[in-house]
């Protein structure tokens, strides 16, 4: 009889746990996942690092960008929030630099669970005013970088049959964004790259998400004359990455579109 009651209580406990796990997907979060964020030295990338540090206990953050000083400051902030953070100086558009960074990340942390391709830059110019040099720069920093970094890390994810890859596109990667021809072309490229990787890895346990924010406050807007209150805070965009990651592994969010409540500028 005592055994019967214990068994009943135990099965109630397991039942409640598996019900909660099914509802929330909490069982899918790995202990201390390794998250690699490119362009983590400021703006949205730094906000993503802080949100993951604050919300996932003991998360291991690989923070990459070119500005070592800024990166160290972001890492220190994340460490205070409870993360283990390491910095990796890297020009993400440079093939050799990305290969070197990938070796350094593997040495420090082993396999990467989540890759966040965030590095990018904006430039304003009409189609007819866009120089070839500027066009090539926009493609390199926004598109080539995402290709190089993903190519460095995704084969290991496919082999392990697990991983998450985020691409930072833009609303400019979804439709015409006049006066930013090269940026728009590069972000359309990012969207295409994400869609192809999603199609090619859906049977490999790898989730791919393409994020399309509208105007979001970051240092790239300073000096623009736009009030921070008019557009989205970087923390909101950052939180979307975390929320998508937290869903159970049978669910992928393929695309997210985020816009300021008052609409595009
Ligand atoms: N803010 C917006 O309104 C908005 C809207 C839609 C999409 N986005 C996209 O969101 C991402 C972040 O934007 P943000 O507003 O946070 O921009 P940001 O403040 O200018 O930050 C850009 C980040 O990318 C890094 N980066 C630039 N070139 C790099 C390179 N060659 N190699 C490695 N890292 C590089 C920068 O670090 P270092 O200079 O230290 O290398 C910096 O950490 C970009 O892809 C951007 O296109 C932004």
Task: State pLDDT tens for residues 135-147.
Answer: 999 999 999 999 9
Interval 214-253: pLDDT, tens = 999 999 999 999 999 999 999 999 999 999 999 999 999 9
pLDDT tens readout for residues 148-193 = 999 999 999 999 999 999 999 999 999 999 999 999 999 999 999 9
Answer whether 237 contacts ligand 1 (Cβ < 6 A): no
Residue 2, pLDDT > 60, answer: no
Record the tokens describing residue 52, joined without a space. 């993951």
Per-residue confidence (pLDDT) for residue 123, from 0 to 100: 97
Q: Which residue, by CA, sits nearest to atom 23 of ligand 1?
A: 39
What's residue 7's pLDDT?
A: 39
Cα of 39 from ligand 1 centre, angstroms: 5
Look at ligand 1, atom 43, and give the residue with the nearest C-alpha: 39
What is the band of 20 on the pLDDT scale with cuts at 50, 70, 90?
very low
pLDDT of residue 29 exceeding 80 = no
Residue 22 Cα to ligand 1 middle (Å): 36
User: Percent of the chain, pLDDT > 70?
Assistant: 89
Q: Is 70 in the pocket of ligand 1 (CB under 6 A)?
A: yes
Substitution candidate for ligand 1 out of 75, 77, 220, 255 with most atoms within 8 A of CB: 220
On whether the pTM is more than 0.85, the answer is yes
SS (H, E, C) the chain: CHHHHHHHHHHHHHHHHHHHHHHHCHHHCCCCCEEEEECCCCHHHHHHHHHHHHHCCCCEEEEEECCHHHHHHHHHHHHHCCCEEEEEECCCCCHHHHHHHHHHHHHHHCCCCEEEECCCCCCCECHHHCCHHHHHHHHHHHHHHHHHHHHHHHHHHHHHCCEEEEEECCHHHCCCCCCEHHHHHHHHHHHHHHHHHHHHHHHHCEEEEEEEECCECCHHHCCCCCCHHHCECHHHHHHHHHHHHHCCCCCCCCEEEECCCCCCC
| Ligand 1 mean position, distance from CA 219 (Å) | 9
Q: Is 67 in the pocket of ligand 1 (CB under 6 A)?
A: yes
Say how many C-beta atoms besides its own lie within 10 A of residue 233's C-beta.
Answer: 16
- What are the φ and ψ backbone dihedral angles of 247, each rounded to 5 degrees? -65, 155
Average pLDDT over residues 36-55: 98
Ligand 1 within 6 A of CB of 220: yes
How high is the pLDDT of residue 28? 58
Quote the CA–CA distance of 209 and 236 in Å, as a whole number: 17
C-alpha distances out from residue 23 to 28, 55, 168, 208, Å: 11, 19, 28, 22
Report the chain's mean pLDDT, rounded to a whole number. Answer: 92
Delimit the domains of the chain by residue range.
Answer: 33-258
Residues with Cβ within 8 Å of 230's Cβ and at least 6 positions away in sequence, in order, are: 215, 260, 262, 265
Please name the CATH architecture into which domain 33-258 falls.
3-Layer(aba) Sandwich (3.40)
How high is the pLDDT of residue 24?
43
Overall residue count recorded for the chain in this entry: 265
Two tokens at 106? 């593997």
- Atom of ligand 1 minimally distant from the CA of 215: 3
The most distant pair of C-alpha atoms in the chain lies apart, rounded to whole Å, by 85
């Amino acid at each position: 009889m005592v055994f019967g009651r214990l068994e009943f209580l135990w099965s109630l406990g397991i039942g409640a746990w598996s019900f909660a796990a099914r509802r929330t997907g909490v069982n899918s979060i790995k202990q201390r996942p390794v998250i690699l964020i490119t362009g983590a030295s400021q703006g949205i990338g730094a906000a993503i690092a802080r949100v993951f540090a604050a919300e996932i206990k003991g998360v291991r953050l690989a923070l990459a960008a070119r500005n070592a000083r800024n990166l160290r400051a972001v890492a220190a902030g994340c460490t205070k929030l409870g993360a283990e953070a390491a910095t990796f100086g890297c020009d993400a558009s440079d093939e050799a630099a990305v290969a070197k960074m990938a070796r350094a990340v593997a040495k420090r942390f082993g396999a990467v669970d989540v890759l966040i391709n965030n590095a990018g830059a904006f430039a304003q110019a009409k189609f007819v005013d866009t120089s070839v040099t500027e066009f090539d720069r926009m493609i390199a920093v926004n598109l080539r970088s995402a290709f190089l970094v993903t190519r460095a890390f995704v084969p290991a994810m496919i082999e392990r049959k697990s991983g998450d890859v985020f691409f930072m596109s833009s609303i400019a990667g979804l439709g015409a964004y006049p006066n930013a021809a090269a940026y728009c072309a590069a972000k359309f490229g990012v969207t295409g790259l994400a869609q192809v990787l999603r199609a090619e890895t859906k049977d490999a346990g790898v989730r791919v998400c393409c994020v399309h924010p509208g105007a979001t406050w970051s240092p790239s807007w300073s000096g623009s004359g736009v009030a921070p209150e008019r557009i989205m805070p970087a923390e909101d965009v950052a939180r979307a990455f975390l929320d998508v990651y937290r869903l159970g592994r049978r669910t992928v969010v393929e695309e997210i579109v985020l816009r300021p409540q008052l609409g595009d500028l």
